[in-house]
Amino acid sequence: MQKRYLPIAIVTGILFLVALGGYLAPAGSGGPPVRVLLENKGGKVILNHADHINDMGGQCADCHHTSGDDANPPACTDCHAAKFDAAFAVNHQTALPETQCGSCHHAGATIDNFSHDDHMGDLTGGDCQACHHDTDIEAKPQACSNCHMDGSNSVPRLRDAAHARCADCHQDFYDDGLKGCANCHVRNPAPARDDEYRPCGACHTVPTDQLVPPSMAAFHGQCRGCHEKNGSGPFADDACDQCHMQ
């Protein structure tokens, strides 16, 4: 009697595995995935991608914040790595489309928001030495870049020297973290394709994972923030089991 049901059990098991594979497998390259399986030490997460597309009215940029009007934006984990290590530095160059390079590697940042005239007037009362060195170092004020050149070994780099001097009066800018940059700098977000893309540390003094959140922080911030804003879905600290499967 048991032998009679053995083939049925085998076929049922095979069909179950095929169905499970189809449930978890992403859609083909011709369109966005239906579901996304996120491996996680706290328990795997199955993200119903299709439902989110419908809920957001097809506005990919609501979640993929660098995508703009791109109908096929890169996967979140292409930019938000679990760990920003040497492997990520190499792999992201081929994992991401060339159009995304400018999202992180910008051509430069001017200081167009810095007003020298304002600092000469009301802000310092005409005291040039409030920003420039005293006469023991420079007889009369000159451009900072005349001595503080990037790559110089004898004096601080221009960036470090300017930030240290500005922080004497504007510590509040630095307390705001990256938001403080816009008080002085205007970023150029669209570098030419033949620009040399330098590592983040060439300009930024903070670690990469503070410039670009790791994948866990990015998902938690984006997903929980959206759910909390809309008052639906899991976002509370005690709702982990609504996303993570043990």
Q: Which CA distances in Å does 171 have to 120, 158, 164, 181? A: 19, 18, 10, 12
Which pLDDT value is given to residue 27? 46
pTM above 0.85, yes or no: no
Give the containing element (helix H, strand E) for 244: strand 244-245
Tell me the chain's radius of gyration from C-alpha atoms. Answer: 26
Which pLDDT value is given to residue 176? 64
108-189 CATH: 3.90.10.10
Which pLDDT value is given to residue 189? 65
- 80, 213 contact by CB (below 8 A): yes
> Does CATH number 3.30.43.10 belong to domain 2-105+209-245?
no
Distance CA 232, CA 235 (A): 8
Tens-level pLDDT at each residue, the chain (246 residues)? 456 667 666 767 777 666 666 555 554 456 788 888 888 888 888 889 998 888 888 788 888 877 666 777 878 888 888 888 888 888 888 888 777 787 788 777 788 888 888 888 877 888 888 889 988 888 888 888 888 887 667 788 888 888 888 888 888 887 766 667 788 888 776 665 656 777 787 777 778 778 888 988 988 988 998 899 888 888 888 888 888 887
CATH 3.90.10.10 residue ranges for the chain: 2-105+209-245, 108-189
- Collapsing DSSP to helix, strand or coil, 48 comes out as strand
Which pLDDT value is given to residue 147? 87
- Dump the DSSP string for 36-77: EEE--TT-EEEEEHHHHHHHTTT-GGGTSTT-TT-SSPPPHH
